[in-house]
Amino acid sequence: MPELPEVEVTRLSFAPAISGGQIQQVQLGKPLRWPLGCAPQQLVGQTVLGVRRRGKYLLLDLSAGLLLVHLGMSGSLTFMRTAPVAGKHDHFDLVTSHGVLRLHDPRRFGAAVFADSEQAASAQKLLGGLGLEPLSAEFEPQVFYAQLHLRKAPIKQVLLAGDVVVGVGNIYACEVLFRAGIRPTTRAARISRARVLRLHEAIVHVLALAVQQGGSTLRDFSNAHGETGLFQLQARVYGRAGQPCHACGQPIRLMRQGQRSTYFCSRCQT
């Protein structure tokens, strides 16, 4: 489900409310992708100082460490005053004095992991090896170009890998490449500087727009208040196989790249 915009929308929807809350209880359901990494009791008594985001990870700053939350493919968070009895797919509850943060995740590719510090989290390679943050000043076109120039893999797969730029998942990779007019199979290193600049612009534009639109709700994404997003209405290629390209009328094509679906327009993307 969640790519950078959905994670950011989620963050914005509960960060102010939870900040300052003291953890009173932690409830675990079925195992998630990774174990919590500490006894639940160790979190109790700590205060949630704030919520940041790195790539698709949410970072809850606690008074004595960091709680990393990842939504995987099917995760979503809700924040409520009091929580109803946990359902079949509710696998993590953080009960605080300000309310309950609940992770709902049918496929359980998500996780909540405690780390003593950001360094410790990197050491566990949860945050290690992540690329540039696309909505920050560090995402400079020249740096982006230099990085892409080192990579021979198809640009779509380089974007998804997240070690050059973070947060661009399958939907937004397709959208961004369409808007930049670049064929997803093009080797990253072979893209001209001018086209990389267009791609850079498309990434910043599309991700920022998607955050503004509340993310993409394809099946079930919603923010921590249960509100769905609107960006899917702006999707120009994703999920539109066989339908006419909005720019040229050619049918949008679907192909597989590294076991993921890629949607593109064979006329507009060269």
Partner DNA sequence: AGAATGACCTGCTGGC
Partner DNA sequence: TGCCAGCAGGTCATTC
Q: Which residues are catalytic?
A: 2-3, 56, 260
Q: Binders of DNA among 154-193, rule CB under 7 A?
A: 154, 157-158, 160-163, 169-171, 188
| CA angle in degrees (0–180, nearest 5) for 227-230-232 | 130
Total residues binding DNA (CB under 7 A): 48
Q: Which CB, 76 or 269, lies closer to DNA?
A: 76
Q: Binders of DNA among 65-84, rule CB under 7 A?
A: 70, 72-74
Which residue's structure tokens are 């892409």?
148
Element (H, E) at 210: helix 193-212
Using CB under 7 A, which of 39, 64, 146, 150 touches DNA? 150
Q: Binders of DNA among 188-227, rule CB under 7 A?
A: 188, 215-221
Supply the DSSP string of 86-114, one letter for each residue: P-TTEEEEEEETTEEEEEE-TT---EEEE
Closest CA relative to residue 139, chosen from 168, 115, 119, 118: 168
What is the spatial distance between Cα 42 and Cα 226, in angstroms, rounded to a whole number?
Answer: 29
Q: Which CB, 95 or 176, lies closer to DNA?
A: 176
What is the spatial distance between Cα 217 and Cα 71, in angstroms, rounded to a whole number?
Answer: 14
At 87, the amino acid letter reads G
Q: Binders of DNA among 11-40, rule CB under 7 A?
A: 30, 33
Shortest Å, Cβ 216 to DNA: 5
Q: Which CB, 23 or 263, lies closer to DNA?
A: 263
Give Rg (Cα) of the chain. 19
At 193, the amino acid letter reads R
Using CB under 7 A, which of 16, 25, 50, 107 touches DNA? 107
Shortest Å, Cβ 227 to DNA: 13
> Counting contacts by CB under 7 A, is residue 106 touching DNA?
yes
Q: Which CB, 23 or 32, lies closer to DNA?
A: 32
Which range touches DNA (CB under 7 A), out of 41-49, 122-130, 133-141, 204-212?
A: 122-130
Question: What values do phi and psi take at 175, rounded to 5?
Answer: -65, -45
Q: Binders of DNA among 236-255, rule CB under 7 A?
A: none
CA-based torsion, 36, 228, 241, 251: positive or negative: negative
Shortest Å, Cβ 24 to DNA: 28
Q: Which CB, 81 or 152, lies closer to DNA?
A: 152
What is the spatial distance between Cα 138 and Cα 144, in angstroms, rounded to a whole number?
Answer: 10
CA-based torsion, 175, 177, 181, 184: positive or negative: negative
Q: By the criterion CB under 7 A, which residues form the site for DNA?
A: 1-3, 6, 30, 33, 55-57, 70, 72-74, 88-89, 106-109, 125-126, 129, 150-154, 157-158, 160-163, 169-171, 188, 215-221, 258-261
